[in-house]
A = this chain, B = another copy of it.
Amino acid sequence: MNAISTDRIVQPVPEPTVRRMPSYLNLLREMLRREEQFVSAPAIAKLLHLDPTQVVKDLSYTGISGKPRVGYMVSELVLALEDFLGYNRTHEAFLVGAGYLGSALIQYQGFRESGLKIVAAFDIDKRKVGSEIAGVPVFHLEKFRDLASRLHISIGILTTPAPAAQSVADLMVGWGIKAIWNFAPVPLIVPEHVIVQDTHIYANLAVILNKLKQAKAV
């Protein structure tokens, strides 16, 4: 039996494995749509350009293992991956910085499929405070403390301009946020128990433009 054991899922998983899980889920969901019933690790490996041994190891963290000769049951693996990734639960988040990027993330409905729900946005700009973005209310930043502790919010999405990022991060930490998803193009300093994940869109853009420039110069 391959019952999904929540106990097993909580063991520390290597970060590269965690990062590959959404790719597996995407692929398996597509197979489910095509009504494919079983898939082998080598077939998954080929489609995602990975090593089959790596695939077996990665997927073992979901608590599911393939059966000899038939491989993985697609529907079972989809459920296990959704459970591993937490897509079947709701993770409420606050967003600070309701500018262009913040608004784009709030409007980005793709997050809902992955269980992330931005329940409120915060800003200090009086023109934004009191408004709504795609149904999400924008409050003044000073309301954050109150709401964060009352609603038990663990995730803070930081989309302020760079100069404000560290001070907002400090506020988030003080107000009990456990994980900060940082889109501001600055490194954040936080206590060890707080999780920080950077998504530096501008750094990626800089790499693209720099490589293009070098390619043209050759």
A interface list, Cβ under 8 A from B: 9-10, 12-13, 15, 18-23, 26-27, 30, 48-49, 85-86, 91, 99-101, 103-105, 107-111, 114-116, 154-155, 161-163, 178-179, 181, 185-187, 189, 193, 195, 197-215, 217
Chain B CB count within 10 A is highest, among A111, A115, A198, for A111
> Sorted from nearest, which 4 A-B pairs have the closest CB atoms?
A104-B104, A26-B162, A22-B202, A19-B203
The residues of B that contact A203 with a CB separation of less than 8 Å are: 18-20, 22-23
Measured CA separation A217–B13 after assembly (Å): 13
Choose one: B15, B86, B195, B200; the contact of A19 (CB below 8 Å). Answer: B200
Copies of this chain in its oligomeric complex: 2
Q: A209, B104: Cβ atoms under 8 Å?
A: no
Q: B18, A155: Cβ atoms under 8 Å?
A: no
CB pairs A–B below 8 angstroms (17 shown): A12-B214, A22-B203, A22-B206, A26-B162, A30-B163, A49-B189, A100-B107, A100-B110, A101-B108, A103-B107, A111-B205, A154-B212, A181-B204, A181-B208, A197-B204, A198-B204, A199-B199
Q: B22, A210: Cβ atoms under 8 Å?
A: no
The residues of B that contact A197 with a CB separation of less than 8 Å are: 204-205, 207-208, 211
